[in-house]
């Protein structure tokens, strides 16, 4: 019943509210990415040169960038190119840590934490079905992650335009694709993976430690992007999102099979 | 009404509950007793539909535990072997949350919480975070939580563990007066089981090894090995004489009673009393020393 799902969501929010070890990373991480990255790009490069002039883009960084990015760079002034390259291209994978890490923290507490504290038994004794319970417990991590990501993206875009370029230049079409497809796909990926991890782990800490590995795809993206194997633009983004969404469906299907009363009680 | 037929649950190669067949009628209280690992908690979890049986069936208030688990959960109240309370929420929030999950209407829920918290002297502390409370107070909350939706069936795992004597008594009275409810209590507190349970089922290694009313179990499995003789008073000389006359039997003196160990009450009691009278002891009454249910339980399990 929908009312039960809402009741679970309200209870989870109330529980999270007073828990700093959950809220601090959920607030700090998006702020660090959305404010830290544009501020760094706005002030550090000019401070690195003796004259205070913004350096040109090193040739090595341009070697593996896709054609779409090369064209965008050419349309900019020389002193804007380095900042644009980082803001619009190289920082994209770093930004994706937000939709991956936030559900990992929240799910670890909501799923594995509740199992560890044995409070799950109280909910399992009520008439709610396994699938409603799963949906109810997924909502807070999903909504918190997506809203943090979009809020961080809005701050990132505003600071980029206001501090670095002094005009409306960001988001690019690639970033719109990232936010529309890749971020939701990664959020679901994180939630699905954490359900499976939580079902197997004994408690919050263990789930959080194992969940730390969830950001590994970001490093894979970063390295493949630097090497020019994969680009976070256009078609590359769409195909990555499709692969991830397919993986999400499989993860959630498998996760929902492990998230049932018998399994939870047998392994508690 | 609860009825199980050859209910079995295995965890890997371990058989936690083995072909359990029992029946609890409305208004009846059944006590599950037995050593740790006997299968008591697993039995309660199966009936609460928290676990699925490997084999066998159980019907709770006409619903099958495998086919209609959600219906069963809506009419069952559970006190688990751990208190399962949300430490970060207040007492009221904990109860309100569970009340909502059982679909108790808002007004009724508020009244019920007030009523039950009043019984357990917790209303004034309703805004306290559960994490700050003692185990005893938490246990009271978990009992209140099981009663919040006025269930037809109660499955209680050690409900009075950690409770102080007055609260235990209050709980026992509450259960004894819960008209029409079918109640199963798993407990290590045999005095409590003796006081409130209509039937006691002794479990060992997943199986039922004995069942019956406490008095029946004592009669059936407990052999009387002593006679208690109440007397008017004893001088030190009389005590010495009694010890000498009763040899080789053990004799113990307790205030105005003498406890003499014997092999068989029916065969030896008359002889003991005759000797007392011969020694000039003023015998007021004599009765067999009734073995404790605990001793009976140990015997049942040893023989199983």
What one-character-per-residue DSSP string does B68-130 give?
-HHHHHHHEEEE-SS----TTSBHHHHHHHHHHHTT--HHHHHHHHHHHHHHTT-GGGTTSBG
∠B120-A10-B52 over CA atoms, to 5°? 75
The Cα–Cα gap between B180 and B182 comes to 7
Reported as a pLDDT band with limits 50, 70 and 90, residue A93 is: confident
pLDDT, residue B182, reads 96
Question: Measured between alpha carbons, how far is residue B205 from residues A158, B161, B293 in Å?
Answer: 67, 23, 19
Q: Could you read off the pLDDT of B227-257 as tens digits, one per residue?
A: 888 988 888 888 888 888 888 888 888 888 8
∠A230-A235-A238 over CA atoms, to 5°? 95
Question: A192 CA to chain B: closest CA distance, Å?
Answer: 23
Q: Could you read off the pLDDT of B17-75 as tens digits, one per residue?
A: 999 999 999 999 999 999 999 999 999 999 999 999 999 999 999 999 999 999 999 99
Task: Write the DSSP assignment of chain A as a string of letters.
Answer: -HHHHHHHHHHHHHHHHT-HHHHHHHHHHHHIIIIIHHHHHHHHHHHHSTT-PPPPPPHHHHTT--HHHHHHHHTS-HHHHHHHHIIIIITHHHHTHHHHHHHHHHHIIIIIIHHHTTTHHHHHTSS--HHHHHHHHHHHHHHHHHHHHHHHHHHHHHHIIIIIISSS--S-HHHHHIIIIIHHHHHHHHHHHHHHHHHHSSSHHHHHHHHGGGGHHHHHHHHHHHTTSS-SSHHHHHHHHHHHHHHHHHHHHHHHHH-SHHHHHHT-
pLDDT, residue A52, reads 61
B143 pLDDT more than 90: yes
Q: What percent of chain B has pLDDT over 70?
A: 99
pLDDT, residue A268, reads 64
User: Which stretch of A74-78, B31-35, B57-61, B126-130 has the lowest confidence by average pLDDT?
Assistant: A74-78
Higher-scoring residue by pLDDT: B297, B2: B2
Question: Measured between alpha carbons, how far is residue B7 from residues A260, A262, B180 in Å?
Answer: 20, 16, 24
pLDDT, residue A155, reads 96
User: Which stretch of A38-52, A243-257, B85-99, B204-218 has the lowest confidence by average pLDDT?
Assistant: A38-52
B98–A contact, CB cutoff 8 A: yes
B97–A contact, CB cutoff 8 A: yes
How many residues belong to chain B?
A: 304
pLDDT, residue A51, reads 62
Q: What percent of chain A has pLDDT over 70?
A: 94
Could you list the residue range(s) of the whole structural domain that residue A258 is in? 2-266
pTM of the entire predicted model: 0.82
Q: Name the residue among B163, B167, B154, B165 with its Cα closest to residue B197.
A: B154
The Cα–Cα gap between B208 and B20 comes to 7
pLDDT, residue A47, reads 62
Count how many domains chain A has. Answer: 1
B271–A contact, CB cutoff 8 A: no
pLDDT, residue A90, reads 85
pLDDT, residue A60, reads 74
Q: Which of B73, B87, B89 has its CB closest to that of A125?
A: B73
Question: B50 CA to chain A: closest CA distance, Å?
Answer: 6
Which domains, from first to last, does chain B contain?
A: 2-220 (3.40.50.300), 225-288 (3.30.70.100)
pLDDT, residue B223, reads 67
Token output for B45: 């979890």
Q: Could you read off the pLDDT of B157-189 as tens digits, one per residue?
A: 999 998 999 999 999 998 888 878 999 999 988
The Cα–Cα gap between B180 and B29 comes to 10
B51–A contact, CB cutoff 8 A: yes
pLDDT, residue A188, reads 94
Q: Could you read off the pLDDT of B250-304 as tens digits, one per residue?
A: 888 888 888 888 877 777 888 888 988 888 888 898 888 777 778 788 888 888 7
Partner-chain contact B74 A121, CB within 8 Å:
no
Within 8 A of A125 by CB-CB distance, chain B residues are 48, 50, 73, 76, 78, 80
Ramachandran quadrant class, B103 (left: phi over 0; alpha: psi -120 to 50; beta: rest): left
B94 pLDDT more than 90: yes
A196 pLDDT more than 90: no
Question: A125 CA to chain B: closest CA distance, Å?
Answer: 6
pLDDT, residue B248, reads 81
Average pLDDT over residues A176-195: 92
Compare all CA atoms of chain A with the CA of B149 and give the residue at the minimum distance: A126
Mean pLDDT across chain A, nearest whole number? 86
pLDDT, residue B169, reads 92
B45–A contact, CB cutoff 8 A: yes
A50 pLDDT more than 70: no
A212 pLDDT more than 90: no
Q: Could you read off the pLDDT of A148-174 as tens digits, one per residue?
A: 999 999 999 999 999 988 899 889 888
Mean pLDDT across chain B, nearest whole number? 91
């Amino acid at each position: 019943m929908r009312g039960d799902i809402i009741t679970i969501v309200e209870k989870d929010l109330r529980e999270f509210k007073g828990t700093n070890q959950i809220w601090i990373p959920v607030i700090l991480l998006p702020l660090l990415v959305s404010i830290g990255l544009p501020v760094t790009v706005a002030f550090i490069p000019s401070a690195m040169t003796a004259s205070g002039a913004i350096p040109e883009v090193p040739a090595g960084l341009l070697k593996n960038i896709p054609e779409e990015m090369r064209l965008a760079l050419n349309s900019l002034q020389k002193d804007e190119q380095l900042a644009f390259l980082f803001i619009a291209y190289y920082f994209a994978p770093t930004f994706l840590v937000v939709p991956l890490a936030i559900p990992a923290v929240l799910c670890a507490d909501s799923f594995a934490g509740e199992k560890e504290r044995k409070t799950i038994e109280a909910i399992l004794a009520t008439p709610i079905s396994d699938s409603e319970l799963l949906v109810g417990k997924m909502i807070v991590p999903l909504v918190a992650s997506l809203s943090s990501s979009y809020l961080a993206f809005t701050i990132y875009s505003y600071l980029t335009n206001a501090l670095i370029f002094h005009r409306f230049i960001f988001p690019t079409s690639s970033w719109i694709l990232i936010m529309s497809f890749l971020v939701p796909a990664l959020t679901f990926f994180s939630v699905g993976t954490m359900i499976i991890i939580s079902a197997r782990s004994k408690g919050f800490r263990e789930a959080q430690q194992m969940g730390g590995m969830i950001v590994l795809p970001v490093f894979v993206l970063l390295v493949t992007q630097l090497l020019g194997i994969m680009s976070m633009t256009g078609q590359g983004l769409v195909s990555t999102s499709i692969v991830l969404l397919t993986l999400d469906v499989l993860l959630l299907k498998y996760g929902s099979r492990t998230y049932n009363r018998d399994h939870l009680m047998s392994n508690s | 009404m609860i009825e199980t037929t050859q209910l079995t649950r295995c965890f890997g190669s371990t058989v936690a509950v083995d072909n359990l067949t029992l029946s609890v009628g409305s208004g009846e209280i059944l006590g599950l007793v037995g050593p740790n690992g006997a299968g008591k908690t697993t039995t309660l979890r199966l009936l609460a539909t928290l676990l699925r049986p490997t084999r066998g069936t159980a019907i709770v208030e006409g619903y099958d535990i495998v086919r209609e688990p959600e219906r069963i959960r809506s009419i069952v109240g559970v006190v688990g072997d751990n208190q399962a309370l949300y430490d970060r929420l207040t007492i009221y929030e904990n109860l309100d949350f569970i009340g909502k999950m059982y679909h108790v209407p808002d007004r009724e829920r508020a009244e019920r919480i007030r009523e039950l918290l009043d019984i357990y002297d917790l209303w004034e502390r309703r805004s306290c975070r559960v994490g700050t409370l003692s185990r005893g107070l938490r246990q009271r909350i978990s009992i209140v939580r099981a009663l919040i939706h006025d269930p037809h069936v109660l499955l209680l795992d050690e409900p009075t563990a950690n409770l102080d004597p007055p609260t235990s008594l209050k709980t026992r009275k509450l259960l004894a007066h819960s008209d029409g409810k079918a109640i199963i209590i798993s407990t290590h507190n045999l005095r409590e089981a003796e006081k409130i349970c209509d039937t006691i089922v002794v479990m060992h290694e997943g199986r039922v090894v004995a069942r019956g009313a406490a008095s029946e179990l004592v009669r059936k499995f407990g052999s009387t090995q002593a006679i208690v003789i109440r007397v008017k008073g004893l001088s030190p000389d009389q005590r010495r004489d009694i010890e000498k006359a009763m040899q080789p039997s053990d004799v113990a003196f307790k205030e105005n009673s003498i406890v003499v160990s014997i092999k068989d009450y029916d065969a030896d009691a008359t002889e003991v009393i005759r000797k007392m009278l011969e020694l000039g002891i003023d015998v007021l009454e004599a009765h067999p020393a009734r073995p404790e249910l605990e001793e009976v339980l140990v015997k049942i399990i040893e023989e199983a």
